[in-house]
Chain A
Amino acid sequence: MVELKNLTAGYGARAVVRGVSLSFPAGKVTVLLGPNGCGKSTLLKAALGLIPIQGGEVLFDGKPLSALSPREVAQKAAYLAQSRSVPNITAQRMVLHGRFPYLSYPRRYRPEDYRITEQALAWAGAAGLAGRLMGELSGGQRQKVYLAMALAQDTATLFLDEPTTYLDVRHQLELLETARRLAEMGRAVVLVLHDLGAALRCADTAAVLSGGELCCAGTPEEVFCSGALDRVFGVSVKRIWTEDGWHYYARDRAGH
């Protein structure tokens, strides 16, 4: 479990995220929502220790982040970055690097690492891509390989920053399904999503950020009822009951 306590962080002297307290419990999918530039990605990076923390603290299973080495953090939490570079190596090699935090002397990946890599590729729906070069894959396929890399890291917590970009609708649904299954297996899954409807259906907890501050956090039901989404996005969020639960959708204020 990862906890943020009154966390303030940013780039240089500028604080992008201010005084956020939030926890990402095991077995739950937490979705971060908010308009562009509200600090969602910064929050993830600060939680992983990728950018300096200016105030407050981050606790990994009760231990402060500052007491952990980057390698120990990498064994506890995986991160799928929003911008991803594409070196021209095979997908298998790429996913194998998810085992980098466990690499020890001699500096070679062990058979066990190869086995976990294979599993991760299968989990991410990329089993057939193992021998392909990253350069020749489509955006969606690359995305799956990146997801497999995060899975190969075999961590209790996964931070996925906009994991559904580049994916077509079927693969988006599959990815959210994978996120749910990971949570059911006891992982803490943290997602940054822009699709309100998908986010509220998938989340156990939704957290709404605006201007670097946390406006509202709770179950999708609570967040919807609080009206925070309407305020923050400047839209009117509605829902409709169907046989498989609530479906959320947004309309602009004028009602068009």
Chain B
Amino acid sequence: MKGWRTFCIRRSNGAKTALLLLLAVLAAAALSLCLGAESIPPGEAAAALFSGGESAAARIMRYVRLPRACAGLLAGAALACAGVIVQLVLANPLAAPSTIGVNAGAGLAAAVCCAIFPWAVGLVPIAALLGAFGGAAAVLAIAERTGASRITLVLAGVAISGIFSAGVDAVVTFVPEALNGYSDFRIGGLSGVAMDELALPGALILVGILAALSLHNELDVLALGTEQAQSLGLPAKRLRLLALALAAVLAGAAVSFAGLLGFVGLVVPHIMRRFVGEESGPLLLCSALGGAAMLCLCDLLARLVFAPYELPVGILLSLLGGPFFIWLLLRQRRGRHG
């Protein structure tokens, strides 16, 4: 197994893997545009996309398929990148964006929003975005006061998540109707995403990924351990908080329109590490591409398997991601952590 792993890292360097993944992303996007309840042949799909028109196909394309494909690609890339950053900064293979309070904050904000403004479904994404930032800010602020060590960050995340999910339970208990909107958000899914809803989170995600890529040397040095990093002139504590804030922006933006999707941020970085190793530059790039392709394909699958009914993609991700994660744990116990 170990031989196979190093073989993979050696043979396919970052550039080659990235190129393959880019092709996968394009294929996933194309499939996701063409296939669905109504299949649209590629030629017609391209024509509908580029020349507009008001035919049924063109309208499906513009208002349903294209936003949905974009949402899948953006959310997948953002969550996977956020996962890489969080795992690297916390030096914890089991960490994910939810570890730093992003999901808890977004969840509470969405629940409160559903309870107070049940008629304003459009407000949920904005509330979730703010909530995600709030949750992460709370975790980072607590950790900052206590020296920003890796373990206080994880513990602060656990504490904040506990408090926030108690908050969600309280809201749902007092306003049971809130559950209608909230449960969709909690499961996570991409149905009904509109293009204008994607503008702000999309911009945040693209800028966030570029920022993370430009910090790849800093992230690598940080992975050498706090003292070694500081002795190389890197302000380790500040960079750790900055990197986690970046992860929170990425994950928060994704969660705002896609709901609380699990496992992408956890699993994709682990898969990519097999192929490109732990160097942050290639790892971030390949994880972004891999996450985008994976979420887009899972969403397609979720739409097709029970057509004309749709399975929220969050359920499918958990069903596929859960077993993978258990396999990962079992392997790790037998391996070097044993």
Q: Which residues of A contact B232 (CB under 8 A)?
A: 74, 97-98, 100-101, 153
Q: Which residues of B contact A93 (CB under 8 A)?
A: 220, 279
Indicate with 1 or 0, residue by residue over B284-296, a CB within 8 angstroms of chain A CB atoms.
Answer: 0000000000000
Asked whether B234 is an interface residue with its Cβ less than 8 Å from the other chain, the reply is yes
Would you call B217 and A100 a contact (CB within 8 A)?
yes
Would you call B227 and A79 a contact (CB within 8 A)?
yes
For the residues of A in contact with B, the DSSP-based class is mixed
Q: Which residues of A contact B9 (CB under 8 A)?
A: 88, 133
Contacts of B233-269 to chain A: CB distance below 8 A: 233-235
Given contacts A97-B217, A100-B217, A133-B6, contact A85 B223 (CB under 8 A): yes
CA distance A5 to B294 in the complex (A): 59
B141–chain A nearest beta-carbon distance, Å: 21
**Which stretch in A21-29, A65-73, A168-176, A195-203 binds the other chain?**
A65-73
- Give the tally of cross-chain contacts (CB within 8 A): 78
Max chain A Cβ within 10 angstroms of own Cβ: one of B220, B223, B230? B230
Asked whether B91 is an interface residue with its Cβ less than 8 Å from the other chain, the reply is yes
Chain A interface residue count, CB cutoff 8 Å, equals: 34
Q: Look across to chain A and name the residue whose beta carbon is closest to the beta carbon of B229.
A: A100
Asked whether A107 is an interface residue with its Cβ less than 8 Å from the other chain, the reply is yes
Chain B interface residue count, CB cutoff 8 Å, equals: 23
- Which residues on A are within 8 Å of B, measured CB to CB? 45, 48-50, 69-75, 77-79, 81, 83-85, 87-90, 93, 97-98, 100-101, 103, 107, 109, 133, 135-136, 153
- Which residues on B are within 8 Å of A, measured CB to CB? 2, 6, 9, 91, 214, 217, 220-221, 223-225, 227-228, 230-235, 273, 277-279
29 A–B contact pairs at CB < 8 A? A50-B231, A73-B233, A74-B231, A75-B233, A78-B231, A79-B227, A81-B225, A81-B227, A84-B224, A84-B225, A84-B228, A85-B91, A85-B223, A87-B220, A87-B278, A88-B278, A89-B278, A89-B279, A97-B221, A97-B232, A100-B221, A100-B233, A100-B234, A101-B232, A101-B233, A103-B217, A107-B214, A136-B2, A136-B6
